[in-house]
Amino acid sequence: MLQQTQMETALPYFRRWMRHFPTIESVAKADPKAVLKAWQGLGYYSRARNLQETAKKILDVHGGVFPQKFEDILSLKGVGRYTAGAIASIAFNQDRPIVDGNVLRVLSRLYAIKKPIDLEKNKEYFWKLEDSLIPKGRARDFNQALMELGALVCLPQDPRCSACPVRNSCEALKREETERYPVRAKKRKKILVQAASLVLSKEGRFFIRRRPEGKIMGGLWEFPEWKLSFDRELPAHVIEKKVYDLALKEFGSSLSKPKNLGKIKRHYTHHQETLWLFRSRLEGLEKAPAKNSWPRAWATEDDFERYPFSSAHAKIAALVESSAL
């Protein structure tokens, strides 16, 4: 849960997860839909699927006991070098390095390292440096201290240098150049996206469909959604026409003209998305094109609780339940 997510954000989800799945076996044997539902709101849903695959492997290969060997930890689904190092050093006090954004910032300033941290070729340099600094037998304390130093003192902006326990050794501070570190080669451009979602109702039920595995947010349910443009702002009347045309193509002529209900903002990876919301009714469901033949359901408002939605579509479901849509 702490991959890509801050501690304060993850904690309530962790507590909810542990109520649902208190043991490795309970995760391994759970319905995948229940796993995604318990994860709902955390994003990056491949982590939830990986967690269940990992639980299955621990049950089948390691007798239900979490492995302690670094290589075995690293072999688990969704566990990379950082996570394996964190588990090995913090849980089992093995002399293994871990390098996250906080550690990169501390090391970059401490040694005034001019190597850009966002270039793949430089990552090994930082891993080797951190590894060389670990006091033998003290990896658990050292790694956590280094991460906390970055999180609480060596801040991205306005670092608290006067409170830093290693300020006398900090090269960036000596040069009065803390704001120059860490060095970055480039800033990744944000991609602006225009999208639309349709709340389609029929006789008190709402049409939802499940995204296929392997796609972004695979396995999650959604109200029909279409991407309309990338890096191009579309006027409202153009969006309305596009949505009507797409909805007619998928659901047929018995569809009422979609009503524009406003928009919500959604951000994921390097995308900044404006998601326009529409509502329409259907008198009779015509056969949808084969390319849109994802698993589908007509759900009541009470049914929504059983379906795992992405954060944006969970908001839409909540608006439907509150009669705001």
DSSP character string of 166-187 = TGGG-HHHHTT-GGG-S--S--
Region 54-75 average pLDDT: 96
Judged against a pLDDT cut of 60, whether residue 99 lies above it is answered with: yes
290: its two tokens: 């084969």
Q: Which letter, b or e, does each residue of 225-256 get, where b requires 16 or more Cβ atoms within 10 Å of its Cβ? A: bbebeeeeebeeeebbebbbebbeebbeeebe
Tens of pLDDT, residues 234-246 = 888 899 999 999 9
Model confidence at 291, pLDDT cuts 50, 70, 90, reads very low
Tens of pLDDT, residues 175-231 = 999 999 999 987 777 889 999 999 999 888 999 999 887 777 788 899 999 999 988
- Percent of the chain at pLDDT exceeding 90: 66
* Topology of the domain covering 1-66: Endonuclease III; domain 1 (1.10.340)
Answer whether CATH 3.30.750.24 is correct for domain 191-321: no
End-to-end CA distance of the chain: 32
The pLDDT score that the predictor gives to residue 294 is 78
Q: Which pairs count as long-range contacts for 82-85, CB under 8 Å and 24+ apart, including other chains?
A: 83/3, 85/143
The pLDDT score that the predictor gives to residue 141 is 97
Region 101-122 average pLDDT: 95
Q: Which residue has the higher pLDDT, 1 or 254?
A: 1
The pLDDT score that the predictor gives to residue 288 is 47
Region 17-33 average pLDDT: 95
Helix (H, G, I), strand (E, B) or coil at 44: coil
Give the CA distances from residue 279 to residues 62, 177, 273, 319, in Å, rounded to whole numbers and listed in that order: 50, 54, 19, 12
Those residues with Cβ within 8 angstroms of residue 303's Cβ, 6 or more apart along the chain or in another chain? 297
- Among 155-169, 261-275, 307-321, which stretch is predicted with the lowest mean pLDDT? 261-275
Do residues 108 and 184 touch, judged by C-beta distance below 8 A?
no
Judged against a pLDDT cut of 50, whether residue 289 lies above it is answered with: no
> Which residues of 203-258 form beta strands (DSSP E)?
205-210, 221-222, 225-230
Domain boundaries of the chain, sorted by first residue:
1-66, 94-187, 191-321
Helix (H, G, I), strand (E, B) or coil at 111: coil
Judged against a pLDDT cut of 60, whether residue 71 lies above it is answered with: yes
What is the phi/psi pair of residue 296, to 5°? -140, 165
The pLDDT score that the predictor gives to residue 285 is 55
Strands 191-202 and 205-210: antiparallel
In the block, which residue shows the tokens 């056969």?
287
Region 40-49 average pLDDT: 87
Judged against a pLDDT cut of 50, whether residue 173 lies above it is answered with: yes
Q: Which residue has the higher pLDDT, 2 or 86?
A: 86
> 94-187 and 191-321 share one CATH topology?
no
> For the structural domain made of 94-187, what CATH number should be given?
1.10.1670.10
Helix (H, G, I), strand (E, B) or coil at 97: coil
Judged against a pLDDT cut of 70, whether residue 292 lies above it is answered with: no
